Amino acid sequence: MSLWWEIAKRGLFALDAERAHELGLGVLETLQGMPMLRRMLEPADDPILRVEPWPGVVFPNPLGLAAGFDKNGRAFESLAALGFGFVEVGTVTPLPQPGNPKPRLFRLPADRALVNRLGFNNDGAEAVAARLAAPRRAALGVNVGKGIGTPLELAAGDYVRAWERLAPLADYAVVNVSSPNTPGLRSLQARGELERLIEALCTARARAAHRPPLLLKIAPELDESALADVAGVVRRYGVEGVVATNTTVGREGLRTQRGAVERCGSGGLSGAPLRARSLEVLRTLRTLLPRPTVLVGVGGIATFDDLWERLEAGADLVQAYTAFIYGGPAWPRQMLKQLAARLRARP
């Protein structure tokens, strides 16, 4: 499939990045409606790869697709059939919203990176819930956020409404307080704001019949003091996990020419340049949050060595997005084949 993908990629990469993304997602959505074709994609279920990050929650493997690729739950079964052990849908807000003006997604091929300022464009919680309610086999997470027009002082209400509608349909739920593309959102990571938000969600969760694990998704820019505050909130409220990390607003050390980077404008940078910082954040959190708190390592995982390094550093699960864009449909299974071989070779 690699030769096929290299040919297809030339055509896709000749298109605007968001248009190419929609085209690829549309193909996967079509396959999702054709179970026989979808089954042809399914990799063997290797028992050595199975993980149980939370009691009773079993994933076929620890490699997931990060939020942002399938924002609206259109193709999660097809994505799982490509090999991903779990798929995170979203970010989803209570009401539909178009996101930021286009163009808003850009490739930096020299860095195997992307810049996005999509701005939580999504169909809204009701529409996404309708898709997720259909019978499914894929392991699924939902990622929720606040509407772009909702004042920060009312943000907790948005998170609660989205969580109440979507969490009953998911294996876990993520609170996104770290996107750089919704004004002021990252201020919700400050300890006082974060405590108020998590307390509101925990109150809602206490009333719910189905209470999937609750996770926080944090920014790579948080320093040690801020990470200690996050860890304190996690411990105090019994949050079951942290996703480390979201995209970065930094642009340091890129191979892409400065002018080309500047033409992309503002937005979150993802991909290989994020690897070192996301790994550092993960290692810090693992010292602050011993197991059973689950850590999801994401950001700059492009090669098998990156994946293995994240697991060795304390990640219970790992996620990718940008590497999938560059590596193509065969990328997940290539990673998993190497992971199974490494696990079997361990003493």
The verdict on whether 187 is a catalytic residue reads no
HEC assignment per residue over the chain: CHHHHHHHHHHHHCCCHHHHHHHHHHHHHHHHCCHHHHHHHCCCCCHHHCEEEECCEEECCCEEECCCCCCCCCCHHHHHHCCCCEEEEEEECCCCECCCCCCCEEEEHHHCEEEECCCCCECCHHHHHHHHCCCCCCCEEEEECCCCCCCHHHHHHHHHHHHHHHHHHCCEEEEECCCCCCCCHHHHHCHHHHHHHHHHHHHHHHHCCCCCCEEEEECCCCCHHHHHHHHHHHHHHCCCEEEECCCECCCCCCCCCHHHHHHHCCCEEEEHHHHHHHHHHHHHHHHHCCCCCEEEEECCCCCHHHHHHHHHCCCCEEEECHHHHHHCCCHHHHHHHHHHHHHHHCC
Both tokens assigned to 264: 């992309």
Q: What is the pLDDT of residue 336?
A: 96
Smallest CA-to-CA distance from 90 within 73, 107, 78 is with 73
Catalytic residue among 179, 187, 266, 278: 179
Q: With b meaning 16 or more CB within 10 Å and e meaning fewer, what string describes 319-331?
A: bbbbbbbbbbbeb
Q: What is the pLDDT of residue 41?
A: 63
> Domains in the chain, please, with CATH?
2-342 (3.20.20.70)
Q: What is the pLDDT of residue 241?
A: 97
Smallest CA-to-CA distance from 66 within 293, 314, 315 is with 315
Q: pLDDT of the chain along its 347 residues, tens only?
A: 577 778 888 888 999 999 999 999 999 999 888 777 666 666 567 999 999 999 999 999 999 999 999 999 999 999 999 999 999 998 999 999 999 999 999 999 999 999 999 999 999 999 999 999 988 888 999 999 999 999 999 999 999 999 999 999 999 999 999 999 898 889 999 999 999 999 999 999 999 988 999 999 999 999 999 999 999 999 999 999 999 999 999 999 999 999 999 999 999 999 999 999 999 999 999 999 999 999 999 999 999 999 999 999 999 999 999 999 999 999 999 999 999 999 999 87
Q: What is the pLDDT of residue 4?
A: 77
Q: How many CA atoms lie within 13 A of 291 on its CB side?
A: 10
Q: How far apart are CA 316 and CA 322, in angstroms?
A: 20
Query: How far is C-alpha 126 from the chain's CA centre?
Result: 20
Hey, what amino acid is at 114? L
